[in-house]
Amino acid sequence: MSPAKLLFRRRRLAFTFVELLVVMAIIALLVALVSPAYERAMASARSAKCASNLRAIGVAIAQAATDNNNEYPAIQQAGGPVYPASAGARDLYDTLSPYGLSSNDLQCPTDMGTAPSAFSQYGSSYEWNPAFDDEVTVQPIIYVSSTFQIPVNNARVHLCFDVNAIHNGRPNTLYGDGHVRSH
């Protein structure tokens, strides 16, 4: 075979620069199309993990309430002390760790991606609602004043929720009956 024919044959088997650019542009376009869907799927997975953590907190709270005459335990808020030190209220982890709650259950994966995270500041991505401390689990009461009280269905009681509204601008919330949802 002559050298000219061999050179011609080699050129036909290789990609041209333009063809390579077209292939790279197509790949870039596909990545741009798939990227938002991937981000939405990852955000949904992080929210589902957060909901699972809140359910674990709900199970531990139910066990703690069973040991406490069916009353919710007194838990210190994540953001700062509500009770004096003499009241004996502890944070979520210290209160619920005897019931199988681990420190991993207090870490919302979406919160862990923010700076500064609530977990790094308070030791928990979740906040307990102190309005229901020491209230009965069956039908807690909201005290409007010393003379006016409102009994509440526990399915409407917001027991525990994300410190920050980080799931598409909404917090995940644990309700008194154990269900979790985003607002």
What tens digit of pLDDT does each residue of 117-135 get?
A: 888 888 899 999 888 888 8
Q: Name the pLDDT band for 6 (thresholds 50, 70, 90).
A: low
Structure tokens at 61: 């709270």
Residue 75 has what pLDDT?
A: 87
Share of the chain above pLDDT 70, in %: 89
Residue 157: HSE in the Cβ half-sphere, 13 Å Cα cutoff = 25
| H-only helix segments in 68-108 | 92-96
Report the range of poorest mean pLDDT among 9-23, 38-52, 105-119, 140-154: 9-23
33-36 contact pairs (CB < 8 A, 24+): none
Residue 153 has what pLDDT?
A: 85
Measured CA to CA, the distance from residue 82 to residue 158 in angstroms comes to 17
At residue 136, what are phi and psi to the nearest 5 degrees? -70, 145
Measured CA to CA, the distance from residue 80 to residue 60 in angstroms comes to 22
Contact 128, 78 (CB under 8 A): yes
What average pLDDT does the segment 66-85 reach?
A: 80
What average pLDDT does the segment 155-172 reach?
A: 90
Share the mean pLDDT of the chain: 86
Measured CA to CA, the distance from residue 115 to residue 58 in angstroms comes to 27
Number of H helices, E strands in the chain: 4, 6
Closest by CA to 76, choosing from 93, 53, 97, 98, is: 93
Report the range of poorest mean pLDDT among 5-9, 11-15, 100-104: 5-9
Q: What is the value of pTM for the model shown? A: 0.79
